[in-house]
Amino acid sequence: MYLGADYYPEHWEKERWPIDADLMQRAGISLVRLSEFAWSKLEPEDDLYDFAWLDEAMDILNEKGVKVVLSTPTAAPPSWLIGKHLQILPLLKNGQRMGFGKRRHYCITNRTYYHFSERIIRKLAEHYKNNAQVIGWQVDNEFGNPKCYCDNCKKEFQHWLKLKYKTLENLNQSWGNAFWSHDYICWEQIPLPIVDYHNPSFDLDFKRFFSDMNVKYSNMQIELLKSISPDKFVTHNFMGLFPELNYYDLAEKYDFVSWDNYPQGLEKRFQVALAHDVMRGLKKKNFWVMEQQCGCITREDITPALSPGEMRLWTYHSYAHGAEAVVYFRWRACTFGIEQFHSGILQHDGTDKSIAYKETAQIASEIDRIRAQLEGSKVISPVAIIYDYENIWVNYSYQEKPMYNYSDEILRFYKAIRKKGINVDIVKPTDDFSKYKVVVAPLMYIVDDETANNIKKYVKEGGTFIAGFRFGIKDRHSNIVKSILPGKLRELFGMSIYAWDNLRERKIEVQTSSGEVYQADTFADLITPEKAKPLAEYKNSWHASYAAVTVNTFAKGKSYYVGCGLPQGFYDKFIAEILKGLVPEGIKVPDEVEITLRQKNGKKFIFVMNFSDKSSRIFLNKEYTELKEKKKLQGEINLDPFEVLILL
Ligand code: GLA
Ligand code: ZN
């Protein structure tokens, strides 16, 4: 369980390095990430290398016991490289070449860029392969943007399509190119999606292609690093709920996933928790936070500073959800460059007087006390939510804008489950569900045979499955299925859907069988129950003849269908009823307090976190030991603002 900082020695004069190293040691920072955007300092001219400064900075850090994660610097190709090979710069959708002066300014399919990336990575890896201070590598920085629309990307796309579809007839058929005369008669005619309102099948394949190209470039880096320094780990800093890459694919060859966590406000706590769980779900193992917010950040504006205690709260929140290391972005606020207003653990003045520095020291000393017990403990969950990138993408009917917000649809269920203190795993549609009591699938457009059989088997053997609206409406080509909805799983749900309505403007009420009335929102699948029992029905207008929520018993299991969006209160009650037996006993907390469990050798570590700037009260009905303070606690307990307890 490392506590670290993202450090940029190249931003500071050499004389400062020993002071930084000393301050790090005093605060308990035992790891730094280095060299992330340092290409112009590592290779100042074509094929001319300078690692001396990095060696020197690392030696100074080593004296204070600070370990290093080195990054490949490829997220920021230097000006000499762009000057020689302009075509590395991505061609934007509007036909303009991206200018030099930001970062991530490279075309992901560019062969020349592969060559120069490989060369600098090889040099770095050779130089540091036997250096024990370097424990691992980070590849590039935050893959995913921008998209490139150059001729080479077009050729690669056409090639990718040819491999996939083999014949043009097959492609024309699969994309439904009979519509608006889109049939192609040669592969070279297939464009990149620069016009709006394109064909959704085309669009989906382009998204897959773009994701594959990122994975390919990323895998090149992983394989190269592994071949030269096989005993160091390789990771990448993912971006939580970023929707544009298939993160399962991207994660596959990394040793573990890391991610960059900028919560930006207490009200984001469920999104952040979900993002942690998505990150843990990519490889089904604990992860790192490679950039953790430690103060105000700059995007278009300067976000509010963190209140004292908030950085500590978010840090424990990361550990609670399965982080093995938390690395703060960044060690010291930079005085120049685009992020000059972005906080660091140290502010611009570099003194130890900052709020974040004091807090870091507190967190580090606490972590020292609990490390041995907590390290390697796992987040074990009785409930799983399906999270699937193709289902995110098919929901983008018109390229830029999704029809419905995928993560918001997940959050409706997720919040209700988390509020009960129940851990959630994030899974793929084809994973083995047998260890879960409940599996939830919000906004799952695509249900192919494999997925349908997987769900059926799970419910047959006693599982509880909950589907959200628009379940199974599409096939793998993003075309609508011809069968009666919900398609392949009609029997499982014991009902049919012959009609639906988009509820953006409409006010439709839903009444549950116990009499509560809620206003439906977003979308309504209008359900005709057959074997299923209605749990809620639409009330007004012509919708009133249909059910809104149903449950069906299927073999040993149950399947629920929630046909429309509803206010959070509905999900809270609905989920509480279904999950009755799973709620951890013995601890009562109000809504602003999160409970999350990690387990190891039969021991349960219960993280109790107060996401409020006010005091909260919780109730423990038996005696627990608070791990950090080694204190016994029982009964009514006062939680200070942002307080965290780890109970055993
Ligand atoms: C991202 C990047 C960092 C930095 C931060 C700022 O996550 O990886 O380099 O720009 O954002 O918040
Ligand atoms: Zn390109």
Q: Does some domain include residue 36? A: yes
The dihedral through the CA atoms of 129, 133, 137, 138 has a sign that is: negative
- The atom of ligand 1 lying closest to the CA of 142 is 8
Residue 95: predicted pLDDT: 94
The region, left, alpha or beta by phi > 0 then psi within -120 to 50, assigned to residue 449 is alpha
Q: Which residue puts its alpha carbon closest to atom 12 of ligand 1?
A: 297
* Active site members: 142, 291
| Torsional class of 272: left (φ above 0), alpha (ψ -120 to 50), beta (otherwise) | alpha
| 33 and 72 part of one domain | yes
Contacts with 198 (C-beta within 8 Å, 6 or more apart), sequence order: 398, 399
Nearby residues of 449 by Cβ (< 8 Å), 6 or more positions away: 488
CA dist list (Å): 7 to 38, 256, 311: 11, 21, 18
Give the mutation target among 34, 260, 288 for probing the ligand 1 site: most ligand atoms within 8 A of CB. Answer: 260
Domain assignment of residue 21, yes or no: yes
**Distance of CA 11 from the midpoint of ligand 1 (Å):** 15
Q: Which helix (H) or strand (E) holds 572?
A: helix 568-578
Q: What single string gives the DSSP state of each residue in 458-519?
A: HHHTT-EEEE-SSTT-B-TTSPBPSSSBTGGGHHHHTEEEEEEEE-SS--EEEEETTS-EEE
CATH of the domain at 69: 3.20.20.80
In a domain, 77, yes or no: yes
Mutate to test the pocket of ligand 1, among 261, 329, 343 (most ligand atoms within 8 A of CB): 329
In the reported structure, the alpha carbon of residue 291 is separated from the centroid of ligand 1 by a whole-number distance in angstroms of 8
CB under 5 Å of ion ligand 2: residues: 107, 148, 150, 153
Q: Are residues 301 and 229 in the same domain?
A: yes
Residue among 291, 293, 302, 341 to mutate when testing ligand 1 (max atoms within 8 A of CB): 291
CA 263, 268, 273: angle at the middle one, nearest 5?
A: 80
- Is residue 385 within 8 A of residue 410, CB to CB? The reply is yes
Let me know: does 548 contact 564? Beta carbons within 8 Å.
Answer: yes
Answer for the pair 58, 125: CB distance below 8 angstroms, yes or no. Answer: no
27 shares its domain with 74? yes
Asked if 385 and 442 count as a contact pair (C-beta separation under 8 A), the reply is yes
Query: Cα–Cα distance between 199 and 184 in angstroms, integer?
Result: 13
Contact between 578 and 438 (Cβ < 8 Å): yes
321 close to 274: Cβ distance less than 8 angstroms: no
Cα 572 to middle of ligand 1, angstroms: 35
Write down which residue in 531, 549, 578 finishes a domain: 578
pLDDT at 228: 98
Closest CA to 276 of 607, 602, 8: 607
The domain boundary, picked from 320, 352, 374, lies at: 374
Distance 263 CA to ligand 1 centre (A): 13
CA of 186 to the centre of ligand 2 (A): 21
Count CA atoms within 13 Å of residue 643 on its CB side: 16
Same domain assignment for residues 463 and 358? no
Burial label, 13 (beta-carbon count in 10 A; 0-12, 13-18, 19+): exposed
Structure tokens at 244: 């544009």
Q: Ligand 1 centre from 347 Cα, in Å?
A: 17
Nearest alpha carbon, ligand 1 atom 1: 260
Ligand 1: atom nearest CA of 293 is 12
215: amino acid identity, one letter:
V
Query: Would you give the DSSP letter of residue 109?
Result: T
Ligand closest in space to the Cα of 97 = 2
Atom of ligand 1 nearest to the CA of 297: 12
Task: Ligand 1, residue 36: give the atom nearest the CA.
Answer: 9
- pLDDT score for 584: 78
Whether omega for the bond prior to residue 442 falls within 30 degrees of 0, making it cis, is no
- The upper half-sphere exposure of residue 156, i.e. CA atoms within 13 Å in the direction of its Cβ, equals 20
| 374 backbone dihedrals φ, ψ, rounded to 5° | -85, -30
> Closest-lying ligand to the alpha carbon of 88?
2
Query: Given the CA of residue 141, which atom of ligand 1 is nearest to it?
Result: 8
Torsions phi, psi for 330 (to 5 deg) = -125, 180
Nearest-atom index, ligand 1, CA of 37: 9
For residue 167, tell me if it sits in a domain: no
Residue 94 placed within a domain:
no
Same domain, residue pair 347 and 414: no
Atom of ligand 1 nearest to the CA of 239: 7
Domain-ending residue, one of 330, 356, 374 = 374
Please count the structural domains in the chain: 3
> Rounded to the nearest 5 degrees, what angle is found at the Cα of 584, between the Cα atoms of 582 and 585?
115
The closest ligand to the CA of 258 turns out to be 1
Distance CA 277, CA 271 (A): 10
User: 459 and 516 share a domain?
Assistant: yes
The residue whose CA is least distant from atom 5 of ligand 1 is 329
CATH number of the domain that 606 lies in? 2.60.40.1180
Report the alpha-carbon distance of residue 144 to residue 421 in Å, rounded: 33
For residue 191, CA distances in Å to 152, 160, 211, 353, 398 come to 12, 13, 18, 57, 16
Are 498 and 397 in a shared domain? Answer: yes
> Does one domain contain both 30 and 131?
yes
Other CB atoms within 10 Å distance of the CB of residue 245? 23
Residues 598, 547 share a domain: no
Nearest ligand for residue 261 CA: 1
The residue nearest atom 11 of ligand 1, judged by CA position, is 260
Contacts of residue 50, Cβ cutoff 8 Å, sequence gap at least 6: 41, 42, 43, 44
Q: Are residues 235 and 115 in the same domain?
A: yes
> Considering every ligand atom, which ligand is closest to the CA of 262?
1
Residues with CB under 6 A from ligand 1: 141-142, 260, 262, 291, 297, 329, 339, 342
Q: Are 296 and 304 in contact (CB under 8 A)?
A: yes
User: Are the beta carbons of 58 and 16 closer than 8 angstroms?
Assistant: no
> Are the CB atoms for 491 and 485 separated by under 8 Å?
no
Tell me which of 306, 334, 339, 340 to substitute to probe ligand 1's pocket, judged by most ligand atoms within 8 Å of the beta carbon: 339
Cβ proximity of 88 and 110 under 8 Å: yes
Helix, strand, or coil here: 120? helix
Calpha distance 619→631 (Å, rounded): 16
Helices (H), 12-149: 17-27, 39-42, 52-63, 79-84, 111-128
Q: Are 585 and 575 in contact (CB under 8 A)?
A: no
Is the sign of the CA dihedral 140, 142, 146, 152 positive or negative?
A: positive
Beta-ladder partners of 329? 293
> Is the same domain home to 296 and 337?
yes
CATH number of the domain enclosing 431: 3.40.50.880
Give the range of the structural domain holding residue 565, as residue numbers without chain letter.
Answer: 383-578
Structure tokens at 588: 């009562």
Predicted local confidence at residue 505, as pLDDT: 81
Residue 7 domain-assigned?
A: yes
Beta strands 557-562 and 564-565 are: unpaired
Cα(389) to centroid(ligand 2), Å: 23
Gap from CA of 110 to ligand 2 centroid (Å) = 6
Give the gyration radius of the chain's Cα atoms: 26
Please name the residue whose Cα sits nearest to atom 7 of ligand 1: 260
Task: Look at the alpha carbons of 269, 270, 275, 279 in this order and tell me if their dihedral is positive or negative.
Answer: positive
Query: Do 338 and 249 sit in the same domain of this protein?
Result: yes
Q: What is the mean pLDDT of each run of 10 residues along the chain (648 residues)?
A: 97 98 98 98 98 98 98 98 98 95 97 98 98 98 96 98 98 97 97 86 96 98 98 98 97 98 95 98 98 91 94 98 98 96 97 98 97 96 98 80 90 97 97 98 97 98 98 96 96 98 90 97 97 96 96 98 98 96 86 96 96 97 95 97 97
Q: Are 558 and 465 in contact (CB under 8 A)?
A: yes
Q: Specify if 510 maps to a domain.
A: yes
CB 468 within 8 A of CB 444: yes
Q: Within a 13 Å sphere around the CA of 353, how many CA atoms are in the beta-carbon half?
A: 4
